[in-house]
Chains A and B, each alone.
Chain A
Amino acid sequence: MSKQIKIKKLGINVSAIVLLYIILKSAITFGLITRYHQGIIIFIMINIILATSLNLATGFLGQLTLGHAGFMAVGAYASAITSIEVRALLPNMPDFMLLIISLIIAAIAAGIVGVLIGIPALRLRGDYLAIITLGFGEVIRVVINNMRGLTGGAQGLTGIPRIVKFDSVFWVTVFVVLILYRLTHSRQGRAIMSIREDEIAAEAVGIKTTHFKVMGFAFAAGLAGVGGGLYANYLAFLDPNTFNFMRSVEILVIVVLGGMGSLTGSIIAAIVLTIMPEALRSFADYRLLLYSFLLVVMMIFRPEGLFGRREFSFDGVKEKFFNKDKIQEKTNIS
């Protein structure tokens, strides 16, 4: 790809993001979006972060993880405690500085836990890895529940400064997706994907599989921590039991519906699956019934998810609609 096309593509994407920001921001400022809808938008962003980060571990690295909510919990508590303490020490620190510090701490804490869990757990494969991550996720939750002095235990943690606003969530989400996009399209990303395709073959061509597995896993954990950090500082209240196995499953469902190995797929699935339960609120009783039914139907008829491994791009859309004769099998895997 020539440099000019690259710059053009970058320009399209950047302007699309800025445009989206301006539209949403002005809608909020002029009161077109209510507080309630703003909350939904923030949860969509948080789910995008969680889903895309899990996609790195499950979709790109090929390691099925059932404990993502555990990493989210670590990040949430790390950032909540940081922002409480820093706010008490330096009450004059601006909100965004405080948020950045607490999110960095969240990412580091969750990343470290990811490495600690990843080194032993990644020796296992497939179903066993899924089980052991499930076990770790539950252990993290029980530990948080019992460290009453630090985390407030089962009563929950209150008094977290509410420093997350629409703007900060938006740009953090863009930043996280950008990191993941760059990572998956780099040399390291190709190494990670080669492990998914065939671990033995990857090892045979000289890729340090253990290194990249732990790295990918820790990265996913760290970014999930960022998602947790946003969650904590938006809600201003944490209950350890929200980070249970069902939460991990919800994130996994987003990844699977969007397509494992497609970041844009995860983004769109996160939007759909966050809005859908809210839109179906009037049928509250049947909401989860329908949701789980769709999941099973989806797995039977389209198991690769909405996008499979393809990425949505403006070029792709253009090609599809304007040069119908020139469509080639366009995948972004290679």
Chain B
Amino acid sequence: MVLFLQQMINGLSVGSIYALIALGYTMVYGIIKLINFAHGELMMTGAYFAFLIVVTSGLPFLIVVPLSMLLAAVFSVVIERIAYKPIRKAPRISALITAIGVSLFLQNLAQVIFKADPKIMPELIDKRPIDIGPLQISTVTLTTLALAIVFMVILEIFIKKSKPGKAMRAVSEDKDAAILMGINVNRTISLTFAIGSALGALAGVLYAITYTQVFPTMGVMPGLKAFVAAVLGGIGFIPGAVLGGFTIGMVETFSRAYISSQWSDAIVFGLLIVVLLFKPTGILGRNEKEKV
């Protein structure tokens, strides 16, 4: 039972990282119907920003995190303007290929700048286990979980209540109608990218702290899993990304603990396949009728 609870907390922590990345995928997909394959790389970029800030200035955790989120947000807006804006009206497949190209480009850029070998992430959070009854939870796990939940709540309030948030929902519902209502679509899309990658960068920093290293390809696997999470929950739906992220985190941790660590990736992707076959739009997705 103790082991079970311990694994559950680990699952929640991993899941919260996936959920943060999945939010970026889902928001971008919701607004311009683009699977942003470069999102995992934005997470990696965020982690490198944090690494650079810490190494050069030694600022504390609470300043490093917002700063690297901000930098990653600016960075992603630049990418969006250069690479994604020109192909917004192009067929879906060219948009997808562009995203794959951007992803490869960022990976290799990081490789050229920082070299392929992993860099040790300095300990930003005091790492000590906290005992809750028989359970041992590390401060890192707890911080990850707490920060993830705080930012999810902020995002939810932002999207439901604020004016730019409402604009985002409007653009994702119907872009042309949103233009007629006087919404600046370009700015809204950039804002979506910025928020999505800020959350991705947060996940990147937390991931780097958890595994104590940063390296150029660190975004690939979490990116892919988070993407699976977004689809699992219903891509384009924000609660879906959170649900999917936690589900994937749990499934992965439990299958690693109780079934086999080698098969856990297959189980995660297998789950995706099963869900897509029975409910192609994901757990929370709406079914859309096809129109002629």
Contact = CB atoms under 8 A, between A and B. Distances in A.
Interface of A: 58, 64, 120, 123-124, 126-128, 130-132, 134-136, 138-139, 142-143, 145-146, 200, 245, 249, 252-253, 256, 260, 285-286, 288-289, 291-293, 295-296, 299-300, 303
B97 interface: yes
A253 B265 CA distance: 25
B96 A130 contact: yes
Contacts of A143: 266
Contact of B269 (A130, A138, A289, A300): A138
A289 B105 contact: yes
B265 A138 contact: yes
Give the interface centre of A146, A285, A300 by most chain B CB atoms within 10 Å: A300
B19 interface: no
A316 to B, nearest CB: 25
B101 A292 contact: yes
The list of the 8 closest CB pairs from A to B, nearest first, reads A295-B101, A292-B104, A142-B266, A303-B94, A292-B105, A296-B101, A135-B269, A289-B108
B265 A142 contact: yes
Contacts of A252: 97, 100
B109 interface: yes
A257 to B, nearest CB: 9
Interface in B265-292: 265-266, 269-270, 272-273, 276-277, 280-281, 290, 292
A128 B94 contact: no
Contacts of A136: 269, 273
Q: Which of B83, B224, B272 has the most CB of A within 10 A?
A: B272
Q: Which of A146, A245, A292 has the most CB of B within 10 A?
A: A292
B133 interface: no
For the complex, would chain A's binding face be called helix, strand, loop or mixed by DSSP majority? helix
A249 to B, nearest CB: 6
Contacts of B136: none
Given A136-B273, A260-B93, A124 B105 contact: no
Contacts of B104: 249, 288, 291-292, 295
Contacts of A142: 262-263, 265-266, 269
A136 B111 CA distance: 29
Interface in B21-59: 33, 35
Contact of A128 (B87, B109, B111, B276): B276
A296 B102 contact: yes
B232 to A, nearest CB: 10
18 contacts: A120-B273, A123-B277, A124-B280, A127-B33, A128-B231, A130-B96, A135-B228, A135-B269, A135-B276, A142-B266, A253-B100, A288-B104, A292-B108, A295-B97, A296-B83, A296-B101, A296-B102, A299-B95
B28 to A, nearest CB: 12
B90 interface: yes
A256 B93 contact: yes
Contacts of A299: 87, 90, 94-95, 97-98, 101
Contacts of B260: 146
A315 to B, nearest CB: 29
A303 B89 CA distance: 11
A300 B109 contact: no
B1 interface: no
Nearest to A244: B220
